[in-house]
């Protein structure tokens, strides 16, 4: 690999559905190299944390250690901090 000053891109198309690739876009399933309709940056778009909806539905487990230390709310996959 050589530094070009541009982000790494991979070809994308609907032919990639169901295939398995490594982080560099190389096939791991024994299939041919992908031929894409477009090329996309492997870094993707950054996530805007302020765009998330504020969690409001508290889930009470009845176990004080969980309820006090790890506040659980509906709609989130990880515990939120107070």
The C-alpha atoms of residue 10 and residue 46 are separated, in whole angstroms, by 18
**3-42: per-residue pLDDT in tens?**
888 888 888 888 888 999 887 778 899 988 888 888 888 7
The C-alpha atoms of residue 8 and residue 23 are separated, in whole angstroms, by 10
The C-alpha atoms of residue 16 and residue 3 are separated, in whole angstroms, by 26
Give the per-residue pLDDT at 77.
Answer: 55
**49-71: per-residue pLDDT in tens?**
777 777 778 888 888 888 788 77
Give the per-residue pLDDT at 81.
Answer: 47
Give the per-residue pLDDT at 26.
Answer: 84
Dihedral sign, Cα of residue 6, residue 39, residue 10, residue 1: negative
pLDDT(47) > 90: no
């Amino acid at each position: 690999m050589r530094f070009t000053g541009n982000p790494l891109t991979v070809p994308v198309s609907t032919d990639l559905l169901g295939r398995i690739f490594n982080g560099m876009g190389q096939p791991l399933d024994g299939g041919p190299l992908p031929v894409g309709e477009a090329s996309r940056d492997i870094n993707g778009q950054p996530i805007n944390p302020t765009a998330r909806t504020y969690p409001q539905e508290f889930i009470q487990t009845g176990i004080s250690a969980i309820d006090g230390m790890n506040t659980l709310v509906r709609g989130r996959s990880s515990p939120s901090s107070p």
